[in-house]
Structure 1
Amino acid sequence: MKIVFLAFAFFMGLSVYADKIKEINYDGLYHISRDVAMRMVDLDVGDELDAKKVDDAIKKYFQQGYFQDIYVTNMDGNVTFHFKEKPIISKVELKGYKDDDKDFLNDVVMIKRGVLYDEKKIEAAKNRIIESLNHDGKIDSVVEVEKTIQENGSMHIKFVINEGEKIIIQKIKYSGLKRFKSSDFDDTVANKEHQFMGWFWGRNSGELKIQDLQYDPFRIRDYYMQYGYLDAKVDAPFVRVNFDHYTGEMSYQIAEGDVYRISGIDVDQTKQVIDDAKLLAVVKLKKNEPFNIKTFREDSDRIKTIVADLGYAFVNVVPDLQKDKKNHTVNVVFKVIPGEKVRIRNVIISGNTRTLDRIIRRELYLGPGDMYSLTDLKDSRNAIGRLGYFESNTIEEKRIDERTMDLIVKVKETPTGNIQLGGGYGSYGGLLLSVAVSDRNIWGSGINVGVKLEKSQMTHNYSFSISNPRLNDSDYSGNFSIYQSATDYTDYSVESNGVSVGVGHRFTRHVSGYLGYNYSQNTYSNVDLNATSTYGSYYFESYSKSSAVVSMSFDNTDDYYLPREGMIASQSIEKSGIGGDADFYKFLTKFSKYNGLKDYVGFDAIFRYKARFNYAVDSGYLPIAEKFYMGGIGSVRGYQSYSLSPTVLDNGEVRRVGANETFSNNAEISFPLVPKAKMRLVTFLDWGFIGDNSLSEISRGGYGVGMEWFSPVGPIQLMFANPLNQQSGDKVSHFEFTMGQRF
């Protein structure tokens, strides 16, 4: 460009300095209109042709960023600006690394189709790719750019990436250790020594994480401060790399210092907004014990929450550690800076293309005009997550001024409905056709509707259900369902018809109650009495059931399908005998606890514990079909569903007759498998007990792995299990799957 300017200035100075401009033309100009181009320069028809003004005009045009080359010609006062525009990028490709990764293209390369080619932006993209490779611990990476001009003049950009080698840390030395061993830091630092079979889960690969080198010393010092070493010093690590073998050694120099014990704990409020004693009551640090920085941070968060719940949204809790180096004691002061009370000006909902605004707003505990509360904000976020309508949700706090803020609720919807069409053929049941339609959030209304139609030569099942968790946006819920099923077996036929209706009420944010009524008619026909004994006849007695159900539940989890925190507990009692033949009590107890492990293991792992206890009391007539059975997903995996039960020998045939009580519990750990595909891996251990008079009558367990997948048609679980404590006659199952259930 500079050469063009100088040549043009020289030419103009010698040849056309005194010419007058008769006409100004533009050749090859597309991105800027002629009128805009004219207004950008200090040239007009009738003016003397001035070399400096032409030179300035070229500079202004170049500054627009659209042009690769500009030159000017003059024919007797007819001045023409000739433009060669930069080519448009029609394709961006990665080769050798992240080949088909659209997120990497968008977030790191940041060169998109349709933009003008710019050498500086291409160079910046190369640097970002190399920086990303360095973050992955890959040294000596090379990125080359292949540029191809297409027939239409557009540009095809290909980043050819040659990944460097990863440095493997063979040895880490810690100098100055007295209180701790080097292995104590393994769970703290990101860079660890290579271990044998380091590729295996739970082992250290030893790969150097360059981006963490600057943070590891702070992590080690933080570890010391959890044990009271407030004067601990950790120098930056020294890394020696052998580039012949791409191995390395690291060394840290540490000065531990002495342990500081707490001499006192105080609260200093810059503006008194609450009694100091109420803040000190939530502090877990103890006088005369060693200082612990982790506990201090947790105490600070608890204090911040209490003050923020009073409306002080912008409160800060600043540490003031007053050390006595001579006596090695520390006076801990929580300095609280409340700021001003904040009210909510507006609540803005975004991202809900299907779900109605009011369905989301009714779950919020903060609205326009309300005083800010941090607890209300967190509970609102969790309440939206428990709906199960959204893949994710966030509530952003937009500060307007010192006294007002807006809340911006951002949701990303997930499929809540599915249509299943199925069919098959079996030697016993013949041709089977099934249609199932369900939606937990039909038309975005929050109403759950399900219809199922299934028909074969030997069976048919029809059902319809509808429920509304918030009748008229109130704290009341309602449900109704009806079903009919019939199956023809070799020795008998059975038909069941039932209906249920109920109403619930949410008493608090996490506690709900329910009262319902169930009626079913269960009829056996075509019973071959020659194939059944006296006990078998009892087994096939038709009966009707009319029962009332009352239940209470607690749920403070943060998501419906995949909770990472909170627990669910429920207790229900069913009394049958309000008319009908059956007369019994059933007590069902459920408990689930969820804990995210990311803070402990560094990735999105989740621990779950689930327990169920069922107990039935015969108060007149407890049909065998109403007793309890165990096995399968929901109790003990590794055994066929409902296959575990007390049995009797009936006419030479072993029959399951159900139990009066069961207890099962499950421990699970869920790991991310393919995050982009929303797939997770789960490992589990189940154990259950079942019996008529004692839970010790039958005891079985199971273990295995499974896959949890948020598929386009809903959440799916695929479970692969092996039985534990298997006994002769047990019916095992090594594979099961469910669809639509929460994990």
Structure 2
Amino acid sequence: MNYNPSLTTALLIALVLADQPAYADGEKITEVVVRGNRRVEASAILGATAIKPGDTLDGDRTDADIRSIFKLGQFQEVQVSSEPGKDGVILVYSVIEKPIVRDIRFEGNKELKQEKLLEGLPVRRNAIFSQKDLDKAVAKLKKQYQDEGFYLVTVEPQIEQRSPTEYQVVFKVVEGNKIRISSITFEGNTAFSPRKLRGVMETKEEWFMSWLTGAGTYKEEVLRNDALLIADHYMNNGYINVKVGEPTMKLAEDQESLLVDISITEGEQFRIGEITFKGDILYPEKEIREKFKTEPGEVFSRANLRADIGTLTDMTADKGYAFNNVNPQSKPDPEKKLVDLSFEVEKGELVRIERISIVGNSKTRDKVARRELRLMEGELYSATGFKRSKQNLMNTGYFEEANVATAKGSASDKLNVNVDLKEKATGAFTIGGGYSSLDGLIFQGSVSQSNFLGLGLKANASAAIGGKSNTYSVGLTDPYFLDSKWTLGMDIYRSERDYTDYSRRLTGGDIKAGYPITDFIGTFWMYKYEIKDIYNPDTYYVAANLQYPDSYPLGKTTTSSIYASITNNTTDFRFDPSSGMVNTLSVEYAGLGGNNKYLREIADNTFYYPLWWKFVISTKVVVGAVQKVGAPIPIDEKFYLGGIGTLRGYSARTVSPKNNDVYVGGEKELFGNVEVKFPLLPEFGIKGVGFFDYGNAWSGGFKPPAMYMSYGGGIRWASPMGPLRLEYGIPINPRPEDSKSGRFEFAIGSLF
């Protein structure tokens, strides 16, 4: 039933407090009692009072007791009275308890379950009823529905009385149809197109995939923030006086969608005038200007200004002045449409690192985490070292989170560094499978531990078994050999594989070492020795072997080679980069004994650049050449393209020169790709990828005879079982032996 709590409460108070006798000061109190309480114990109420039996009745003291009882927060009315008693008076505190909510129910909710609606609801079961909380609850429920697209939802609260002080609250919900934003329009924009401005916004218009992506959903705080994003976009393009109005919204005429309109006053575009520096400038101005994004004559950008403030702050902090302050001052010239900038630096005092503490590393040894830090106890503070320390810790792959924070030391010129780590599973058991005309059906698995014994050692064992190939390997690597910067490791392996023209068996091992020149540049060396056996040739290969036994070898040979490379890696996160680059130049020389002799050089370059909406574009270019050194180049050491690692859409190792129907490999290679990765279902860790591949392997001059190309897409999912990769490539200029419809491969793994 519908219930008026105010009216009922007033009647209850009147009944309880009616005809209460008055009292007179100065009388002796023989007993103190409480009346009207139902769920609050009398002892709890009397515990808040100061007057006790034996005291003299005093009006000021009873008023103070009434206030104390009210402070308990359980009562909506408290009165005091007295009754005649033996040898004195009985002091009576009459109370009316605040009603409580015994139960909460929902009616009409179909799209949202009761459990979700109850989350964070201001009205709670077994809590004191409050009309203010009830109003907040109605507003929250409406917002919850509107965030899901039910803009026309109505929520009607009803209060049902179970007893004089117990209520049941029923929320009657009429959800209505899901309504999305069908149109976002702008008024006053001339510098940027509506499409460009909509691209800046987080709120999107409805489209056919909205059921999956949620595009078109109205969220009030998101739409309000979109106005700030638009203003920021204008400010980053020189419109320093832009004004973006509050987004207005209305229902479309068909009552089935929402229309959003945003008014904009752009103003004039300003460029950068003079840039000056003053105060405690610790670097030559030329060096500072080289690192600044802001330059005279360019369009003013607030984002660049913020970045430059950060750059100058970090440069000063790298000298040990951790608490420096950079104060930018801007002076617009409306006539010239220029903004003069002045940067004033206050360096403060030199600060040293007093103590570094590491917590959260239950498995990883302290020294493993500490050696990744670029801050040392007793040394001057460095902003670059501080940032690099966190990046290094995350790049180890040992931690799910690595929080590096500073705290006050024992003096004003000292800082403590607190490293809070959250370890993650660093062991991996991976399984995968695929099918191709080269390998047939193949199953592969590996066991690896990148933080073996908590010492940062990398151990692995892997096997791949298929109809046309078998591979086995074990290895161990210490990235900080004897606690130095040297990396030292070794591998033992054996592989058997059936190629189109022959089969090959390899048994070998390697010893490898590396040394970092800087945090970004590292070197790598490896010596390997292999016993190679080429067997089971087809008819064409046998004929070629009889005519050219050196170029088409059969039987066992040995390879003794040394490999060296130098790599520049400036990516932000090495396991899933979004910015930076990886450049590697490598050389391998085979001829330190053994039968096989060759010299191979490869340059591998990959660039990552963040786009919008967490899209990341990457470009890869690989150039390679192999040359003979006193003997013909072994056929299996030449270049072969095709497959998921080089040229998707083409069968593995089939993009190479052919001679008498034998794939003979190329002495040169050029291949690359352009990839765009984007969040597909970010809450599930699923990313989409689109790609364009190109490449060829050939012999002769440096100019390739042609470029084979392909395009396609796929998904990459950080699944609970481990990373999954599924990609499909379609050749643009297929050869007769290629499928015009394309081909795919996949892999999946799990963590422990």
1:730 to 713, 730, 738: 738
- The residue type paired with residue 655 of structure 1 is V
Specify the alignment match of 1:451 in structure 2. 461
Q: What one-letter code is carried by the residue in structure 1 that aligns with 2:659?
A: V
Q: 2:659 aligns with which of 648, 657, 661?
A: 648
Which shifted more, 725-734 or 686-695? 725-734
Q: What does residue 482 of structure 2 align with? A: 472
Q: Does 2:575 match 1:561?
A: yes
1:521 aligns with 2:534: no
Distance 1:729 1:474, change over 3 A: same
- Kept in 2, the 8 Å contact 1:636–1:688? The answer is yes
Q: Structure 1 residues 529, 126: CA separation in 2 closer, same or farther (over 3 Å shift)?
A: same
Q: Taking structure 1 as reference, are residues 704 and 260 closer, same or farther at Cα in structure 2, changes over 3 Å only?
A: closer
* CA distance in structure 1 between the aligned counterparts of 2:272 and 2:604, rounded to whole angstroms: 43
Match of 1:721 in 2: 729
Structure 2 spans left out of the alignment, 5+ residues: 1-8
Shift in alpha-carbon separation, 1:19–1:90, aligned structure 2, 3 A: same
Match for residue 661 of structure 1? 668
Residue 324 (structure 2) pairs with residue 310 (structure 1): no
Matches for 1:77-226 after TM superposition, within 5 Å: 96=110, 99=113, 124=136, 126-131=138-143, 139-143=151-155, 162=175, 166=179, 168=181, 170=183, 172=185, 174-175=187-188, 185-188=197-200, 210-211=220-221, 222=232, 225-226=235-236
Q: Quick check: 1:419–1:436 contact (8 Å CA) kept in 2?
A: yes
The question of whether the paired residues in 2 share the 8 Å contact of 1:395 and 1:410 is answered with yes
Q: CA deviation at 1:225?
A: 4.8
Q: Which residue number in structure 1 is paired with residue 265 of structure 2?
A: 254
Stretch of structure 1 that moved more, 163-172 or 379-388: 163-172
State the 1:673 CA deviation: 1.8
Q: How far apart are the structure 1 equivalents of 2:428 and 2:179?
A: 46
The equivalent residue for 1:505 is 515
Using the TM superposition, give the Cα deviation of residue 630 of structure 1 relative to its aligned residue in structure 2, in angstroms: 0.9
Does residue 481 (structure 1) correspond to residue 494 (structure 2)? The answer is: no
Look up the equivalent residue of 1:685 and give its one-letter code. Answer: F
Structure 1: unaligned runs, 5 residues or longer: none
Question: How many residues are treated as equivalent by the alignment?
Answer: 719
C-alpha contact (below 8 Å) 2:444/2:463 kept by paired residues: yes
Q: 1:436 aligns with which of 438, 441, 446?
A: 446
Higher relative contact order (CA 8 A, sep 6+): 2
Name which of 546, 556, 577 aligns with 2:591.
Answer: 577
Higher mean C-alpha deviation, range 183-192 or range 79-88: 79-88
Of 359, 369, 373, 1:364 maps to 373
Q: Is the 8 A contact 2:158 2:170 kept in 1?
A: yes
- Tell me the distance in 2 between the aligned counterparts of 1:204 and 1:421: 34
SS of residue matched to 1:384: helix
CA apart distance, 1:498 = 0.8
- Cα offset for 1:691? 0.8
2:698 to 684, 691, 696: 691
Q: Does 1:417 align with 2:427?
A: yes
- Contact 2:122–2:134 (8 Å) recurs in 1: no
Query: What displacement does 1:547 show?
Result: 0.8
Work out whether 1:296 is the aligned partner of 2:309.
no
Change (3 A) 1:366 1:707: same
- Write the distance in 1 (CA, Å) between the matches of 2:462 and 2:684: 29
Contact 1:225 1:232 (C-alpha < 8 Å) held by counterparts: yes
The more displaced of 691-700 and 514-523 is 691-700
Structure 1 position 727, deviation (Å): 0.5
Structure 2 distance, partners of 1:231, 1:90, is 51
CA contact (8 A) 2:272 2:338 kept: yes
Instruction: Give distance in 1, aligned partners of 2:337 and 2:573.
Output: 46
Offset of 1:642 from its aligned partner? 2.3
Q: Which string of whole-angstrom CA distances, capped at 9 and with x for unpartnered residues, describes residues 402-437 of structure 1?
A: 6444444444444332235799999x9999997632
Q: Following the alignment from structure 2 to structure 1, what is the Cα–Cα distance between the partners of residues 616 and 23?
A: 80
Measure, in 2, the Cα distance between the counterparts of 1:579 and 1:533: 29
Secondary structure class of the residue paired with 2:606 = strand
> 1:365–1:325: structure 2 CA closer, same or farther, 3 Å change rule?
same
Partner of residue 627 from structure 1, selected from 635, 638, 649 = 638
Map 1:288-437; keep pairs closer than 5 Å.
Answer: 291-325=300-334, 328-398=337-407, 403-420=413-430, 436-437=446-447
- Cα distance 1:233–1:138, how it changes in 2: closer, same or farther (>3 A)? same
Please tell me the residue identity of whatever aligns with 1:174: E
Of 273-282 and 711-720, more deviation after overlay is shown by: 273-282
Q: Deviations over 1:345-399 (max 9, x none)?
A: 4444455454334322221112444433222222222222322233444434456
In structure 2, how many angstroms separate the alpha carbons of the residues matched to 1:148 and 1:633?
A: 66
Deviations 1:154-200 (A, max 9, x none): 9999996837764646573534x6766666644445678x69x6868
Confirm or deny that 1:541 pairs with 2:555: yes
Distance of 1:661 and 1:564 partners within structure 2: 30
DSSP 3-state at the match of 1:542: strand
Query: Which residue identity lines up with residue 715 of structure 2 in the other structure?
Result: M
The aligned counterpart of 1:709 is 717
Report deviation, 1:637. Answer: 1.1
Partner SS for 1:552: strand
Residue type of the alignment partner of 1:635: T
Displacement of 1:583:
0.7
CA distance in 1, matches of 2:114, 2:495: 50
How far apart, in 2, do the equivalents of 1:434 and 1:281 lie?
50
Provide the aligned C-alpha RMSD in A. 5.3
How far apart are residue 726 of structure 1 and its match? 0.6
- The reply to whether residue 639 of structure 1 matches residue 650 of structure 2 is yes
1:224-243 pair list within 5 angstroms = 225-226=235-236, 228-232=238-242, 236=246
Q: Which of 565, 576, 579 lines up with 1:551 in the alignment?
A: 565
Classify 1:609/1:355 alpha carbon distance in 2 versus 1 (closer, same or farther; 3 Å): farther
State the TM-score, normalized to the length of structure 1.
0.78
